[in-house]
Amino acid sequence: MKHPGTITFVEKGKPDEVMSADKVPDSVAFYEDVPVVRVVSELVEKKRIIRSYGADGALLSTTREG
Amino acid sequence: MRTDDRRSTLRTTAQSGVTAKPTQPKQAAVPTAPAKSAGWTPQARASSHAEHTHSHAGHTHELPLVGSRNGGRSRTPDVVSQDLASLMPQPARATLAGPRDVANFTFEKGVVGPAKQYTVTVGNHSVKVTMPVGTQQGLHNADIQQVARTLARMPAAALREVKEVRVSPQQNPSDAFWAQKYNRPDFRSYMTAGREGIVRFYPQTGKFNEKSAASSILHESGHVWSQREWGGGYTSRQWKAWDNAARADGTVVSKYGQSSLGEDVSETTAVYLATRGTRQHDQYRAMFPNRFAILDARFGAQR
């Protein structure tokens, strides 16, 4: 599936950052071949939780830091 | 390709841990290709004053805190679902079938290697578990018994959202990017969870923590069912109904639950499922009556 082009990285307390999808690894830009267009990250109890969303706003995957 | 399918049973209890009873090997088909605050005890509506901002569906409003009051100060847990392991019922009984050898299993894109596949059954739900043969040097992975015990700890209704577990032989391929992006040189994923119910565990420098893993999966299962049934983007009538319920309750389940409507659903669902059948459940219900009513309709008599 073709990526629409950009991914917006959202982090609490920081300005959103828009990156070109071809500047990030495929493992970040896609989840199971579905394009990721928004990544929301938050520090919770000193560990990072990263959530990747698709174009329809659906949560595609969550990554938890060890 | 060699096929080796052994059946064994596991009984997981707090006292005995896991015992396996292997039986006769039998032939089986092999796929051709890949494939949270400590000490927080629910109190009756603990606070009536608004201290925190609650943001739902793109708008912001003030909600009072729930949780215990220590020295006159209200306290809201950071992530309630991380603290639920101690409230969850005793681990259930798990049955383990396998392993079946797979020569080249795709753990995820770009990560292919030999694997052993098991089926872990808890109650009437089965989960395919793929274990690596070997792990990145210097790191530790969960073993199959730990994975089985983790699944057995989960409330049945949450476990139903888990279709597959893959224990990766190596670090998450995205870790290098996350490390740079978030300026955390030692960033290492321990788990990912996908919308289709696939959970991946990654090798760590430390020991695998079953309670923490079960709590994380419990939380993520809330996202899986709510996104599947209510859609993404928090715009459907169901999400609006939840938003209204949260407003009517006037309470927050945790600080993390405040970060979005989706997190509020997941945190509240975790509390709801983990405490069902315990006396704490009624205490939580008193704090979140409208949201629990929605969950009653969703989960009904499911355990």
The alpha carbon of residue B15 and the mean position of all alpha carbons in its chain are separated, in whole angstroms, by 23
Find where tokens 């927050």 sit.
Answer: B252
Comparison of pLDDT for B33 and B296, the residue scoring more: B296
Q: How confident is the model at residue B137 (pLDDT cuts 50, 70, 90)?
A: confident
Q: How confident is the model at residue B23 (pLDDT cuts 50, 70, 90)?
A: very low
Mean pLDDT over residues B262-287, rounded?
93
DSSP assignment of chain B: ----B-EEEB--BTTTB--B-----B-----SS----TT----SS---SEEEEEEETTEEEEEE--S-EETTEE---S-GGGG-TTTSPPP--EEEEEEEEEEEEEEETTEEEEEEEEEEEETTEEEEEEEESS--TT-B---HHHHHHHHHHS-HHHHTT--EEEE-SS--TTHHHHHHHTT-TT--EEEEEETTSEEEE--BSS---HHHHHHHHHHHHHHHHHHHHH-STT-SHHHHHHHHHHHHHT--S-TGGGG-HHHHHHHHHHHHHHHTTSHHHHHHHHHSHHHHHHHHHHHTT--
Say if B182 is an interface residue toward chain A (CB within 8 Å): yes
pLDDT, position B73: 40
pLDDT, position B302: 59
Which residues of chain B are within 8 Å of residue A60 when distances are taken between CB atoms? 194-195
Mean pLDDT over residues B269-276, rounded?
94
Say if A10 is an interface residue toward chain B (CB within 8 Å): no
pLDDT, position B279: 85
Residue B75 has pLDDT above 90, yes or no: no
Mean pLDDT over residues B251-269, rounded?
92
Residue B141 has pLDDT above 60, yes or no: yes
Mean pLDDT over residues B162-172, rounded?
97
**Are the beta carbons of A44 and B78 separated by less than 8 Å?**
yes
Of B36, B82, B232, the CB nearest to A56: B232
Say if A53 is an interface residue toward chain B (CB within 8 Å): yes
Render pLDDT for B177-190 as a digit per residue (tens, 0 to 9): 999 999 999 999 99
Residue A60 has pLDDT above 90, yes or no: yes
pLDDT, position B168: 97
The whole-chain average pLDDT of chain B stands at 78
Closest-CA distance, B161 to chain A, in angstroms, reads 14
**Are the beta carbons of A65 and B220 separated by less than 8 Å?**
no
Please count the residues of chain B. Answer: 303
**Are the beta carbons of B191 and A63 separated by less than 8 Å?**
yes
Closest-CA distance, A27 to chain B, in angstroms, reads 6
Residue B47 has pLDDT above 90, yes or no: no
Residue B4 has pLDDT above 80, yes or no: no
pLDDT, position B255: 86
**Are the beta carbons of B187 and A48 separated by less than 8 Å?**
yes
Comparison of pLDDT for B284 and B35, the residue scoring more: B284
**Are the beta carbons of B194 and A31 separated by less than 8 Å?**
yes
